[in-house]
Amino acid sequence: MEFWEGFVEALRMVFTLDSTVVEITMRTILVSGSATLLAMVVGVPIGYALARARFRGRSFALGAVYTGMGFPPVVVGLFVFLMLVRSGPLGGLELIYTRQAMVIAQFIISVPLVIGFTAASIQSLPPALGDLLATLGAGRIRTLLLLAREARLGLLAAVMAGFGAVISEVGASMTVGGNIAGDTRVLTTAIVLETSRGQNAQAIALGFILLAMALAVNLLLTFVQQRPR
């Protein structure tokens, strides 16, 4: 049975520290981790601003963010490809078919999720909480840290949603990265390659490793999220 063969092959790869699998796994963590980190750096402040600020067009901005949360990754990959290809407006940067291009595509996929979850978590707090903290003597930075602490469940959910979206996507990574062995091949694109070759056991093994890695990261974040205050 191919499923069982794939499971056994996954165990063999893990316990023997198969060099190719280790390389692809580390590259997957590097690319998706970098994209998620950048999405948090950009998305959390924007989400906070959308939750707290009052300005004309705010509802439209939130609607655009929520629409972006469901944007097809392959369409994002196509957009980034057209921007970075030699004939595109950013072709001079020579980023197409590089890990940097993959990070850019995954960042675009992840950042609406981070913004949306952050905005929702901040909006769930009492509206007057920020003013109350300021009245009690908390400075701007201290107020932001306290608000982040109160909204930590939602913020960690934003991390999990952003990371989960990019670690599992394949269309954008293959479109802008090219699935180049030793350079831009990650777990998802490797699974597609092995399946196309008819190496189903190998593909299933890589799938098990991908699932185990995603589960480990999400278990760690869930533990932090659910830890008593």
- The whole-number pLDDT of residue 130 equals 60
- The whole-number pLDDT of residue 223 equals 81
Handedness of CA 77, 78, 79, 81 (dihedral sign): positive
Which residue type does 145 have? L
**Long-range contacts: 182-188, Cβ < 8 Å, 24+?**
182/23, 183/98, 183/99, 184/27, 184/97, 184/98, 184/99, 184/102, 185/24, 185/27, 186/24, 186/27, 186/28, 186/31, 186/32, 186/102, 187/24, 187/25, 187/28, 187/213, 188/28
CA nearest neighbour of 118 among 168, 165, 66, 70: 66
Which residues form the domain of 166? 2-226
Q: CA 101 to CA 116: how far, in whole Å? A: 24
Q: CA 113 to CA 128: how far, in whole Å? A: 26
- The whole-number pLDDT of residue 71 equals 87
- The whole-number pLDDT of residue 29 equals 93
Place of tokens 């056991």: 201
- The whole-number pLDDT of residue 98 equals 95
Contact 50, 62 (CB under 8 A): yes
- The whole-number pLDDT of residue 21 equals 85
Contact 110, 162 (CB under 8 A): yes
Tokens of 22: 């280790």
- The CA-to-CA distance between both ends of the chain, in Å, stands at 47
- The whole-number pLDDT of residue 101 equals 96
- The whole-number pLDDT of residue 136 equals 58
- The whole-number pLDDT of residue 58 equals 86
Q: Which parts of the chain sit beneath pLDDT 50? A: none
Number of domains present in the structure of the chain: 1
Distances (CA, A) of 14 to 8, 143, 182, 225: 10, 45, 19, 28
- The whole-number pLDDT of residue 75 equals 93
CATH number, position 107: 1.10.3720.10
Burial class (CB in 10 A: 0-12, 13-18, 19+), 55: exposed
